[in-house]
Amino acid sequence: MVGSKWVYRIKRKADSSIEKYKARLVARGFTQIYGVDYFDTYSLVAQLTTIRYILAMATRHDWNINTFDFNGAYLNGELEEGEEIYMKQPPGCEDGTTTVKRLHKSLYGLKQAGRRWYETLCKALEDLGFRITHADPGLFLYNSGDDMLILAVHVDDCILTGNSPQLMNNFKHQIHEHYTIMDLGPIHWILGIKVMRNRSACTLSLSQSSYIDTVLSRFKMASANPVGCPMAPAPSSPKIKAPQKHKN
């Protein structure tokens, strides 16, 4: 039996302004026992190298690049038949009894939650005609004649591109019928990376300035003076005086 807690988070936009406040009930998965409550836990995501390659290819061919994410992605994953996991009553929702709840969904915080979501998503994409690439299991391809769609999935954040805008819109409507998604439109922010695209000049730039500012603020170095080199190029060494000889 596992416990649970509420997690509160502030989600920010690319310019660090507040987008929304989130509250999520998560399970205390660290109390799960291997071989009893879970077995395999690894889950595959698109590699950052793959994402950069997709962005470069889409920029080269002047394709649309859209992003979307799944609302409550892990909650779409179903626990397997042999996985019996019981959870204590959530804080603030107690009914005064000692009853517990059996989980049927892969609640956030469970060891196998990410894996169950990936398996569920793979099945849904295969039903829609996508195939998984061997080089990167987080990358999915779809072909229809001369039209092609490329989908990169990193947990619940997705990048969608291809040579057919109509096909892209159709796919988003189809996947929305399976799971609730938030269509974020043209790419401007992904995995904490700011994306700046100039289609007329056929260029795309990536920036992590927001992440750098967050790290500097965390270590109280936001007001530090910038220098060309983090270490003095020629540090002066202390002068050591030679011992004096005493005359007898």
Consecutive 10-residue averages of pLDDT for the chain (248 residues): 88 76 89 85 91 94 94 87 86 86 88 92 94 93 93 93 94 92 90 89 89 85 76 62 60
- CA–CA distance, 163 with 152 (Å, rounded to integer): 15
The identity of residue 220, as a single letter, is K
In this prediction, residue 136 carries a pLDDT of 93
Element (H, E) at 50: helix 48-60
Domain ranges of the chain: 4-218
- What does the alpha-carbon distance between residue 35 and residue 115 come to, in Å, rounded to a whole number? 16
What contacts 24+ positions apart, CB below 8 Å, involve 146-152?
Answer: 150/54, 150/58, 151/125, 152/46, 152/50, 152/51, 152/54
User: What pLDDT does 56 receive?
Assistant: 94
Q: What's the pLDDT at 248?
A: 55
pLDDT reported for residue 46: 93
Query: Which residues pair with residue 7 across a beta bridge?
Result: 24
CA angle 182, 188, 191 (to 5 degrees): 75
Rounded to whole angstroms, the Cα distance separating 145 from 82 reads 42
Q: Which of 87, 85, 83, 84 is nearest to 100 (CA)?
A: 87
pTM: 0.79
Calculated CA dihedral for residues 77, 113, 191, 197, nearest 10 degrees: -20
What's residue 246's pLDDT? 60
| Pair 46, 152: CB distance under 8 Å | yes
